[in-house]
A and B are shown apart, each in its own frame.
Chain A
């Protein structure tokens, strides 16, 4: 039962433009969301998080938007850089569920120079 879905397996964007990665979830009890980036042969690295009490969180070039009514979140990267090319995972949890996270299947971002 895939409670977190990333329906786009891949995305290609030109350097300098905006990258938008999408994530949908089915469990309305999720209240904490994370985005991770993963390079080959490395573990995932944390990018940005958002709590359900907010609808937007920014950190430098990365912004996460949360639409609770649509059970949808998105990650915006502006401007995109070739070094951003990686697989991006979104993850969700219930705050009281002892660190159990549900991950999407990932979106492979390719930023072309």
Chain B
């Protein structure tokens, strides 16, 4: 069974630009969530999608947005990039059940110059 796939793995942008990150969940997983990892901050929850609907959102500004497609693939977008947006962005998929673990991709490493 293929795991969670994230693209691109690495990217460099400059301040003010926007970026779109993509995530393909494990087949059959309809829940996709996004996390931001920065040094010393652990993983911060961005948002979660289930069946194309955003069900949960973390405490991030409106510059961070996402969507989910009918095939459960998800994208997140960050507009007007700031230096502080440099981070590892992790996507995770999960079954619909309330218990069970998140399955993470390898992440997209964003560097903002």
Contacts and interface: CB of A to CB of B under 8 A. Distances in A.
Q: Do A and B bind each other?
A: yes
Interface of A: 4, 6, 9, 32, 34, 36, 41-46, 49, 51, 89, 91, 95-106
B84 interface: no
B66 interface: no
A103 B101 contact: no
Given A43-B105, A95-B98, 11 more contacts: A6-B42, A9-B40, A36-B104, A43-B106, A44-B104, A89-B43, A99-B33, A99-B102, A100-B56, A101-B102, A103-B43
A46 B102 contact: yes
* Interface size grouping (class) on chain B: 20 to 34
Interface of B: 4, 31, 33, 35, 40-45, 48, 50, 55-56, 58, 90, 94, 98-99, 101-107
The binding surface of chain B is classed by DSSP as: strand
Given A51-B99, A105-B40, A45 B104 contact: yes
B98 A43 contact: no
B111 to A, nearest CB: 14
The binding surface of chain A is classed by DSSP as: loop
